[in-house]
Structure formats: C-alpha cells, structure tokens
Amino acid sequence: MEHNKDIADIQAAEATFQKKKKFILCYHSFSVMNFKRTRNHIRKIAEAAGSPISIAVIPSFGAAPESEAEEFREELEKFVEDGYEIMLHGARHRADLTLKRSLQGKLALMISNNEAEFAGIDERFTQALLKRSLALWKAHGTGKASGFIPPIWFGNKFLKEQALEIFDYYEDYHGIYKKVDGKIKKFRSGTLSFSIVPTPLLGIAQTHACLKMLLPGGAHRLVFHDKDFRTIGEKRILNMVRYISTLREKIMYRDL
Amino acid sequence: MSDWLFKSWLKISALTAVLFFFYHLFISQKLEEEIYSSQDDDKK
C-alpha cells in the first residue's frame, strides 16, 4: 500500500514537471485545394494528441468551384465547433511576383520557391495583403482567427506590428508575439517543421524535434504539412505526436 | 589553456554525438511502433 502511494507521488511529481513544459501542435496550409485529404490528417493528429489542435488556414479560394468552396466552409465550421484553433496563414500563400521586394525578400522567394508571400514587401502592400487575408477569412470562415503566421515564416519589418494590430498572436521562425499593454511580448518558441528538410535528413530532424521537446525551455511549435504525410509517413507522425504529448502539455496559441 | 579548452570541447562534442546517436536509435524504434487508433477500428 505504502509502495503504491510512493509510485503515485512520483507520478504526480512527474506530471507536474511535464505540465510546466508546453508545446503547440499546428497543421499548416489547410486550404480549399487540399482539404479533402488534409482534414483526415488533422483529425488523426488531434486524436493522437488527445485534443483539438491549431490549424493554419490559407483563406484564399482561388478558382475553386463553388461546390468545393461550400464543402470547405462547412469543414472549417466543423473544426471551429469542435474546438480547433484557427490561425491565418497568408492570403493565398503564393507570392505575387509583380510586387516590389527588398533584396532579402527576393532571396526569400528564391529559397521558398516563391511561397514567401510577405517577404520584403513595403508597408502599404503589407497592410493591403493583411487586410485581404482577413477579408477572405471573414467572407468564408467562422469565428475569429487567433493569429497570423506568414507563409514560410518570412515576413518583413512592418508585418509584426501590423499583424498584432489585427490579431492576438503573430509568429516568426524564432518566436511567438503578443501585444500586452501596448508592448510586444515575445514567447520563446522554436519551430520544429519537416517540410523543407531534405528526405535523407528527415530521421535526424525527427530525433532533433523529440530531443528539443524532451529538454526544458520554450513553448515549441511542432508543425506538420500535407507533404509530411508522404515523406515521413502517417505512422511515424502520429507516434511522434503521441510521444511528445507524454513529454509536454499540448496547448494552443490562445493558451499562452 | 587553449589546448585544454580544445580537448574539453572535443570530448563534450564526442559525448554529445554518442548520446544523440543512442537517442536517435530509441526514437527511430519508438516512431515505428504499431499502435491502433479508434479510426482504424472504424474502418474494420
């Protein structure tokens, strides 16, 4: 009996320690183009984690047929009703190549295969694109988006301030930001994403992600994309989520 | 002094690499485990 009590005490102490370590689980680039496939990924990841996760949604509908658009809207509504958190992920994710960009912006486009929509654009276009993203969400989405994640995490020097005027949270590759009493507060958070990692290095990247979650510090973001289910595989992704959920408490951006 | 620092750095790096390698083996095994979810049951 005494022995059982000791074990219970140890388990309680471990649970308390683990509760201090938190992580965010986010599925990126959920859009009208891929929702029929990716909605199952999201549900499976949430089931492995034990609760709803955050979803970074691309709000643009492009040239999708109205029937598909309607189905996508219903899917978004279901996710919101089930407690999933919505983050906006650019306006259409893909960069407009006609916009004038800084040298860093052009470099970011080269690295990202023209996906870094906000990279290196000026203040006026940043504002316009942000408003477009929000307008698209208001037209098609349900409820309030918690925050904004620039595609490929490439922004520009105006984006953070402007995004935090509209949204509660903004993130880049190095951290998550929130406006508290007029000042921007940074939360330490590493990005653990696999979509840009070359296939031969994916095993090492997964070990690195698990190790980073095992060690203390930061509310790291574990990010999955549609592509990861083809390169890493569903079994490994779900097992990774289960394993990390035993190391840290899963939270959403709004819990920060 | 610099020689001592270099040797210490070398030892720490080697130890870190060995630990990472063993953790990598552990994680690789862990991620390959077969676990059945309720969605698998639904398919049956």
Number of domains in chain A: 1
What pLDDT was estimated at residue A20?
78
Q: Is A122 domain-assigned?
A: yes
Of A44, A203, A243, the CB nearest to B30: A243
Rounded distance, CA A173 to CA A188, Å? 10
What pLDDT was estimated at residue A16?
61
Rounded distance, CA A44 to CA A49, Å? 9
What pLDDT was estimated at residue B44?
46
For residue B26, what are the domain limits?
1-30
* Integer Rg of chain A from CA: 19
Residue ranges for chain A with pLDDT beneath 70: 1-3, 11-19
> Cβ of B30 and A207 within 8 Å?
no
- Tell me how close the Cα of B2 comes to any Cα of chain A, in angstroms: 30
Q: Residue A228 contacts by C-beta under 8 Å, 6 or more apart in sequence? A: A194, A195, A237
Q: What CATH number corresponds to the domain at position A30?
A: 3.20.20.370
Q: Is B38 domain-assigned?
A: no
Contact yes or no for A207/B24 (Cβ under 8 A): yes
Q: Is A14 domain-assigned?
A: no
Q: Is B16 domain-assigned?
A: yes
For residue A189, what are the domain limits?
23-255
- Answer whether B31 touches A (CB < 8 Å): yes
Q: Is B25 domain-assigned?
A: yes
Rounded distance, CA A255 to CA A248, Å? 14
What pLDDT was estimated at residue B37?
60
Q: Is B42 domain-assigned?
A: no
Q: Is A18 domain-assigned?
A: no
Rounded distance, CA A140 to CA A126, Å? 21
Rounded distance, CA A186 to CA A179, Å? 9
In whole numbers, what is the pLDDT of chain A averaged over residues?
90
Of B28, B30, B37, the CB nearest to A203: B28
Number of domains in chain B: 1
Q: Is A17 domain-assigned?
A: no
- ipTM score of complex: 0.74
Q: Is A148 domain-assigned?
A: yes
Question: pLDDT (tens digit, 9 = 90+) per residue, B1-44?
Answer: 788 999 999 999 999 999 999 999 999 999 998 876 655 555 44
Q: Is A188 domain-assigned?
A: yes
- Answer whether B29 touches A (CB < 8 Å): no
Q: Is B39 domain-assigned?
A: no
Q: Is A133 domain-assigned?
A: yes
What pLDDT was estimated at residue A48?
95
Question: pLDDT (tens digit, 9 = 90+) per residue, A146-191?
Answer: 999 999 999 899 999 999 999 999 999 999 999 998 899 999 999 9
